[in-house]
């Protein structure tokens, strides 16, 4: 054999030894199950309350989805100028209301003076709520109104902002006050916000994966070192695809399931994709069209 062949064989042998050594000393550790995620069937979670059926993040949407029979809501939260936690997605109010301004610079009263159904278009392209005043919903109001719903809470305020620096502690205090620890999931695109929140919650609340958690898990799954992955979150809420990376394969779902981590996919609004994901092993469908999702699951009972 030539010199290059010998070198290649040596590298391969060293890699195999490293894999075998790591396998021997590191065993996959299942995440301890959280009560909020204990479902024996796939669940339906209404995205922003069911954003294609009624104005997003309003009682109109939440109530319509609750009546349809969904299992929970996926919501975003932001902090107002007077430090109220509201259920709202954008940093500004223009996209959904009849007003202008930055949420963090407005009080709850100022935000409530707006019509939060003003921009909504229904499935026929009509704007039925322009004359029907709808208010913003506070997180307190939502949790008190729907005590039996799973609520997936996404912290939108960035950690390097004033409002973002306050949010983790304020959110924990509200959850603790209402005794909602076992019916919420807290997540954020900012992994730092999840970590900050958990400093207060101390693993008493189910945590959703941030972007960095998803990257780590998929990298481990795609390599020969999946046994080295030790999750620090309780549920993955992800799209079926991120860029060129496919995240909805049965093997990836099973990889996470083996670690006691259910996978919920967003935002799924057609029955074909819903059916495929459930068949692949998804434990949750996050959707703007809970009407479609609820009917699909009825056919599979």
The pLDDT tens digits for 120-175 are: 999 999 999 998 889 999 999 999 999 999 999 999 999 999 999 999 999 999 99
* 127-152 b/e (C-beta count within 10 Å ≥ 16 → b): eebeeeebbbbbbbebbeebeebbbb
Q: State the pTM of this model.
A: 0.89
Contact 151, 70 (CB under 8 A): no
- Say whether pLDDT at 37 is over 70: yes
Q: Where are the alpha helices (DSSP H) in 26-138?
A: 59-68, 108-112
Provide mean pLDDT across the span 101-106: 98
- Please tell me which residue, 296 or 228, carries the higher pLDDT value: 296
User: For the chain, which domains are there?
Assistant: 33-299 (3.20.20.190)
Phi, psi for 39 (deg, rounded to 5)? -120, 140
Q: What is the pLDDT of residue 190?
A: 92
Task: Report which DSSP code applies to 208.
Answer: B
Provide mean pLDDT across the span 67-93: 98
Number of H helices, E strands in the chain: 10, 12
Contact 156, 77 (CB under 8 A): yes
Mean pLDDT of the chain: 90
Separation CA 12–CA 6 (nearest Å): 10
Instruction: Count other Cβ atoms within 10 Å, centred on residue 246.
Output: 11
């Amino acid at each position: 054999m030539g010199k290059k062949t010998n070198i290649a064989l040596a590298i391969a042998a060293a890699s195999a030894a490293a894999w075998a050594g790591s396998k021997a000393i590191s065993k996959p550790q299942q995440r301890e199950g959280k009560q909020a995620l204990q479902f024996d069937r796939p669940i339906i979670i209404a995205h922003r309350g069911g954003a294609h059926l009624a104005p997003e993040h309003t009682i109109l949407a939440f109530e319509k989805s609750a009546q349809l029979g969904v299992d929970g809501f996926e919501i975003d939260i932001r902090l107002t100028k007077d430090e109220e936690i509201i259920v709202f997605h954008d940093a500004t109010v223009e996209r959904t209301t009849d007003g202008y301004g930055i949420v963090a610079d407005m009080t709850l009263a100022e935000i409530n003076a707006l019509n939060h159904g003003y921009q909504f278009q229904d499935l026929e392209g009509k704007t039925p709520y322009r004359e029907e005043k709808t208010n913003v919903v506070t997180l307190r109001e939502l949790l008190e109104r729907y005590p039996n719903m799973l609520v997936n809470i996404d912290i939108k305020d960035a950690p390097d902002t004033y409002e973002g620096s306050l949010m983790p502690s304020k959110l924990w205090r509200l959850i603790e006050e209402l005794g909602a620890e076992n019916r919420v999931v807290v997540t954020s695109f900012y992994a730092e916000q999840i970590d900050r929140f958990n400093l207060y919650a101390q693993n008493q609340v189910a945590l959703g994966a941030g972007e960095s958690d998803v990257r780590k898990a998929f990298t481990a799954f795609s390599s020969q070192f999946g046994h080295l992955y030790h999750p620090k979150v309780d549920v993955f809420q992800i799209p079926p695809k991120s860029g060129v990376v496919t995240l909805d394969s049965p093997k990836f779902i099973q990889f996470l399931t083996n670690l006691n981590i259910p996978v919920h996919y967003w935002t799924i609004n057609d029955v074909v994709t819903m059916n495929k994901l459930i068949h692949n092993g998804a434990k949750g469908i996050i959707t703007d069209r809970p009407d479609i999702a609820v009917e699909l699951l009825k056919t599979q009972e």
